[in-house]
Structures are given as structure tokens and as C-alpha cells.
């Protein structure tokens, strides 16, 4: 059979289709049947919930019909269309008008929740959420909608809990996972703020509970551990605070602020090994902490000394007797030096520390008043007196080279106050300071410095 191409003027041989062999009436009937079948398919597609929303599948608002069987009322379909177009007000009106007796009313209720939230009235819809969540196994859109309602009404923690239920139901929805992570961080920050507010009000139990919950949400956060340490420190629980600070340092070992808090608190608690290691780590990051590291090492060193020597070493201002006690304890040469002749201090004979004080006086390290024969052991050690003691100590230490280059000459028999201070400062034994007294740590550092100058042949 042949068909003539219209307007071509040529005949073309074409195979006849089976449909072309049918009578014209039969062909018209088949066409009507096909159109009717197509319209039924389209109607069924609009009336049943899609397995996956067409757009923004993982983001709020989800299609409220998801996981529900249709067909749905015309009002519900209008509400879905309005949601898709971004018209939340029209969507709310359409969902609210859905027949109340409809067994598929749940889709309209979920849609109405979403529409109300989108209009900024999340708190208003919470009772509806609670009612529907308690009614049975909630659908994914209901979980997500109520999670958003809780979060947007100020309850990030409960919102996160519902998002996690949603993710357990649909773990293959990355958009929901991203949103849950946003809520996790928001809940963490909310709990941290609550913990700090409670701490300011000295509500320690509430503060601890909030920071504990925040840490549970973000166990990887060094900031939260440090905040927990701050709370314990403010509550007076220094040991618990140090534990939290050390946890923070383990997570973030180069955070200067947390390192400093850890080191200072460890020093305060007598955890000298922790204080030394932490201050030394700080000094490697910031050299300005080197003196603090040296102080920590010194504190570690004196921690097990006898009570009197330990108290003198930590004194904010030494007495003359304290200085003599430290000399006796730290410098074996002072204990072993032979005394040929020396001044006798009458006010040092009956004291507990008389051995140290009388030895310092006999060696000329402490000056005795020639008229009263008193050494005044309980008077504070002045800077000039400390300088004379330190410079004269070189005579007893006897460097191998025979002299100390920083002195530029042998130690004179008599020293003025000004000359003694100048020599002590020139050798690095004392800082240029205006303080009238000398602290125990400063005196110990000076003794260490004198020892290093002697053993190093005077090299500074």
C-alpha cells in the first residue's frame, strides 16, 4: 500500500501501520479511550502523595502528603500548590478549609503547621504539634515540621531531638542532616549561654547541668571544656576546674588562654608538675611566659622542702632571718665554710634559726650593728642588704678562675649600699627595681644565678 505525501507531488512507498488498516470510526474510538486513560493517570498522580517531593526534597517545608495515601481533598491539593509557590498565607487558608471528616485530614494538618511556621507564628502551632505527635507513628513531614516549630519558638534542644528522629527514619536525606547539624550547633550555643547565665546567678547545679548537656552535644569542643572549668573555678571547685581545663588542653594543646588558666590553677593547687609542663608549653608559644615557667620550676623545686625553708622561699617579702635560712639550705659552702673570726649577734642566739643567722653574720653575709651587736633577724631584707649578701657570696663560692668577670675586680672588703646594688645588678643577680624589699622567689633566682656564674667561670 502507498501513501502520497501531501503537497509533494510525488508518491512514496511506505509500509502501512496496523492502525491505518482500521476503519476510521474505530480509530476515533481508540483515540478517545487513550485520552480517557491518560486523564485518569494524571488525576491519580495529583491525588496521591509522591514518594519524593518534586523540589527541595530535603528542606523544610516538606510535602505534607509524603508517606500518606491519597486521594486528598481539593483544599489539600490547593494548599500544597500554594506552599510550592511560597504563598504561606493562602496555603494556611486552604489547609484549614479541608474537610474535617476526611480520613486524610492529617496531610492538611501537617500543611497548616508548615504554613503557620513560615509566617513566623511557630509558638502558636506547638499545641497542634504535640497532639499529632502523640496520636501515633508520625510521618517524616510531621517530625520535621514540629522540629522547626520547636526550634523557631526558642527550643533548639527539643527541635534537634525531633530532627534526629526524622533522620533515623530517613537517613538518606542529606538536607535534613545538614539542618540537624545547624540545630545541634544552635542547641550547644543555647546551653552554653544558659550555663553562663546560671553561673552568674550562682546557680551552680543548673549551670553544671547545662554545660554537661552542651558537652554531650559537642564532645569534641575544647571551648565547652574550658567553659566548664570556668564554672567550677567560679564555684570554688578548683580541682574539678583543673580537670576540665586539662581536658580542654588535650583537645586544643596550643590555645594560650586555656594553657594559662591551666598552669595558674595547677600552681595554685600545688600541682607543680602540671604547672611546669604547661608553662613551658606556653613559653614555647609565647616567649614572654618564660619567667612564669622559671617560677613554676622553682615552686616545684621547693615543694618538698622543710616547712621553714618552703615558707621563706614563697615569701612575698623576706626577713633577714629568712634569707639566712635559704643560704644555709641552698648553699653547702655556707654551711661548710670555716669561720676564723666574725661578729657575734646577740639577738640571734636563742632563736630556732640561730644556726643559720649566726653563720650568715659570722661570714659577713649579714651585717651586725657594731654598737648594739644586733643583726635584727626579723627586719625585712632591704635591697642593699640583699645585694651585699649576694656579692659577698662570691668570696665563699670561690670560682675556679679566681674571679667573676661581671664584677671586673675582686670583691672589696667594705661595700657601700649603692656599690653593692650596682654590682649585683651588673651580674644579673637583681633587677632594677624600686621595691624596698626582696621576695623569696627573687632571692632564690639570685642564688641560682650566682651559682651558674661561678660554675660557668663567670660567663653571663
Percent composition of the chain: helix, strand, coil (DSSP 3-state, to 5) = 65, 0, 35
* pLDDT computed for residue 45 by the predictor: 35
Residue 22 has pLDDT above 60, yes or no: no
* pLDDT computed for residue 317 by the predictor: 94
Q: Which domains does the chain have, with CATH numbers?
A: 74-185 (1.25.40.10), 310-455 (no CATH)
* pLDDT computed for residue 348 by the predictor: 84
- Give the number of C-alpha atoms closer than 13 A to the C-alpha of residue 387, restricted to the C-beta side: 25
In 86-139, which residue ranges form alpha helices assigned H by DSSP? 88-96, 105-118, 122-134
pLDDT digits (tens, 9 = 90+) for 71-100: 899 999 999 999 999 999 999 999 999 987
Cα 213 → chain centroid: 15
SS3 381: coil
- 24: buried, middle or exposed (CB in 10 Å: 19+, 13-18, 0-12)? exposed
Q: What angle do CA 389, 392, 398 make, to 5 degrees?
A: 135
pLDDT digits (tens, 9 = 90+) for 179-226: 999 999 999 999 999 999 999 999 999 999 999 999 999 999 999 999
Residue 277 has pLDDT above 70, yes or no: yes
Residue among 273, 269, 219 nearest 247 (CA): 219
Which grid coordinates belong to 400?
Answer: 675556679
- 424: buried, middle or exposed (CB in 10 Å: 19+, 13-18, 0-12)? buried
- 16: buried, middle or exposed (CB in 10 Å: 19+, 13-18, 0-12)? exposed
pLDDT digits (tens, 9 = 90+) for 242-260: 999 999 999 999 999 999 9
Instruction: Indicate the pLDDT class of residue 319, thresholds 50, 70 and 90.
Output: very high
Write down the pTM of the prediction.
0.66
Peptide bond into 54 cis (omega under 30): no
Amino acid at each position: 500500500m502507498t501513501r502520497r505525501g501531501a503537497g509533494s507531488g510525488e508518491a512514496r512507498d511506505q509500509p502501512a501501520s496496523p492502525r491505518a488498516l482500521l476503519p476510521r470510526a474505530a480509530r476515533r474510538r481508540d483515540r478517545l479511550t487513550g485520552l480517557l486513560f491518560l486523564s485518569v493517570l494524571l488525576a491519580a498522580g495529583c491525588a496521591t502523595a509522591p514518594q519524593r517531593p518534586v523540589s527541595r526534597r530535603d528542606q523544610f517545608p516538606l510535602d505534607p502528603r509524603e508517606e500518606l495515601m491519597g486521594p486528598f481533598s481539593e483544599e489539600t491539593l490547593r494548599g500544597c500548590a500554594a506552599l510550592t509557590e511560597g504563598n504561606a498565607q493562602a496555603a494556611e487558608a486552604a489547609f484549614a478549609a479541608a474537610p474535617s471528616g476526611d480520613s486524610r485530614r492529617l496531610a492538611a494538618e501537617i500543611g497548616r503547621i508548615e504554613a503557620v511556621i513560615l509566617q513566623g507564628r511557630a509558638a502558636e502551632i506547638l499545641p497542634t504539634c504535640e497532639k499529632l505527635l502523640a496520636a501515633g507513628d508520625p510521618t517524616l513531614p510531621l517530625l520535621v515540621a514540629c522540629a522547626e516549630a520547636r526550634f523557631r519558638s526558642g527550643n533548639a534542644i527539643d527541635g534537634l531531638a525531633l530532627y534526629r528522629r526524622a533522620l533515623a527514619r530517613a537517613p538518606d536525606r542529606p538536607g535534613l542532616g545538614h539542618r540537624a547539624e545547624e540545630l545541634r550547633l544552635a542547641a550547644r550555643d543555647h546551653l552554653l549561654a544558659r550555663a553562663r547565665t546560671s553561673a552568674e546567678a550562682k546557680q551552680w547545679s543548673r549551670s553544671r547541668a547545662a554545660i554537661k548537656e552542651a558537652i554531650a552535644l559537642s564532645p569534641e569542643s575544647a571551648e565547652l571544656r574550658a567553659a566548664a572549668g570556668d564554672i567550677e573555678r567560679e564555684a570554688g571547685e578548683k580541682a574539678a576546674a583543673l580537670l576540665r581545663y586539662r581536658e580542654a588542653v588535650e583537645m586544643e594543646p596550643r590555645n594560650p588562654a586555656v594553657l594559662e588558666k591551666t598552669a595558674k590553677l595547677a600552681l595554685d593547687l600545688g600541682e607543680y608538675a602540671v604547672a611546669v609542663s604547661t608553662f613551658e608549653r606556653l613559653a614555647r608559644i609565647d616567649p614572654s611566659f618564660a619567667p612564669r615557667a622559671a617560677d613554676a620550676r622553682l615552686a616545684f623545686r621547693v615543694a618538698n622542702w622543710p616547712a621553714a625553708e618552703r615558707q621563706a622561699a614563697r615569701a612575698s617579702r623576706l626577713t633577714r632571718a629568712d634569707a639566712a635560712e635559704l643560704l644555709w639550705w641552698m648553699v653547702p659552702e655556707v654551711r661548710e665554710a670555716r669561720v676564723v673570726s666574725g661578729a657575734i649577734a646577740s639577738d640571734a642566739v636563742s632563736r630556732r634559726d640561730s644556726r643559720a643567722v649566726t653563720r650568715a653574720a659570722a661570714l659577713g653575709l649579714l651585717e651586725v650593728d657594731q654598737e648594739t651587736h644586733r643583726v635584727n633577724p626579723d627586719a625585712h631584707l632591704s635591697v642593699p642588704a640583699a645585694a651585699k649578701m649576694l656579692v659577698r657570696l662570691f668570696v665563699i663560692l670561690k670560682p675556679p678562675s679566681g674571679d667573676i668577670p661581671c664584677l671586673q675586680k675582686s670583691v672589696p672588703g667594705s661595700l657601700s649600699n649603692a656599690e653593692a646594688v650596682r654590682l649585683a645588678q651588673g651580674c644579673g643577680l637583681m633587677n632594677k627595681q624600686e621595691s624596698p624589699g626582696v621576695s623569696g622567689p627573687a632571692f632564690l633566682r639570685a642564688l641560682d644565678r650566682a651559682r651558674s656564674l661561678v660554675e660557668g667561670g663567670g660567663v653571663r
